[in-house]
Amino acid sequence: MLFVPCCRIFETPNFPFMASSSPTHLSLSLDPSSSSSSTSLLNLQTQRTIFRSKDFEKTQLRIPVSFRKKAVNLQMMASGKTPGLTQEATVDREDNADVFDDMKQRFLAFKKHKYMDNLEHFKKLADAQAPKFLVIACADSRVCPSAILGFQPGDAFTVRNIANLVPSYESAPTETKAALEFSVNTLNVENILIIGHSRCGGIQALMSMQGEGDSRSFIHNWVKVGKKAKESTKAVASNLHFDHQCQHCEKASINHSLERLLGYPWIEEKVRKGSLSLHGGYYDFINCTFEKWTVDYGESRGKKEGSGIAVKNRSVW
């Protein structure tokens, strides 16, 4: 009889719930008395250790989702198989469940404490909106106008893009220009507020871009809208550290966008008549401060085109 060990014996500590037993072996025997002379049969005999302790049978292990995910990956690697779409979808569904459970609870809290308590207001919003603000803010996840400035549903028509930029009137159509047209000409907003912020990745991309940048890059093709702000920053702050140059450009780009707004004929007309005001805002989330200012249209009209705008009512909160 030929004995082939199944694997190297792993000796476990003598835990109370484990029964003492002999090691497991895999026994292969060749039977020469088989009725078939051309075929040899292998009789596989397996001796296994069986844990019979009731305490062990009752023990339940709670394994975290993250550990189970790693275990699945390791098992797949060991078997030489690539995780399929089914396995990935199953694991991702477990992870996403927690995220959407939290989101569900936040929504239900909003429904209970805000929506139901202000039912008449939300019924009016269901019929029409009349916001007083158009807000142009950065898409950065750290800059949420409603969170930092307390806008409630119906208060502000909001458009967010990388680096809170406003394209020129003559340039190709964009979603920002569509938002300007709709909010100013249809909703008749009374204020346009452009909000910039500290450590803006879009401005950093603009400031570090060489020339016109990579024409294949969507980011470069967009942020070069602010190249005048970059040029003005380089003209006055080229001797500063790159981080400080970016901080200067973050504010300069807001004013360049405000100046560009006056290049839209229907915006300039309403500002001139006094039915629309233009404002700039800068949110410093490092120190949690908000700087606000307003375009002085009368003073700005006397300036040469491209030389900047005059501002008033500057304050820091």
7 annotated to a ligand binding site: no
138 annotated to a ligand binding site: yes
Pairwise CA distance, residues 202 & 295, whole Å: 24
214 annotated to a ligand binding site: no
Q: Which regions of the chain does DSSP assign to beta strands (E)?
A: 2-4, 25-30, 42-47, 133-138, 156-161, 191-197, 277-284, 289-295, 311-316
Q: What own/partner pairs with CB < 8 Å and gap ≥ 24 does 264-273 have?
A: 264/169, 264/180, 264/184, 265/169, 266/181, 266/184, 266/185, 267/180, 267/184, 267/192, 270/184, 271/295, 271/297, 272/297
SS3 per-residue string spanning 201-235: HHHHHHHHCCCCCCCCCHHHHHHHHHHHHHHHHHH
197 annotated to a ligand binding site: yes
**C-alpha 195, offset from chain centre:** 19
Distances, alpha carbon 302 to alpha carbons 154, 273, 307, in Å: 36, 17, 10
Terminal CA-CA length for the chain: 89
Residue for token pair 């019924």: 123
Beta-sheet pairing, 191-197 with 133-138: parallel
Pairwise CA distance, residues 109 & 14, whole Å: 53
- Please report, in range form, the residues annotated as the binding site: 138, 140, 197, 200
- Please report, in range form, the residues annotated as the binding site for Zn(2+): 138, 140, 197, 200
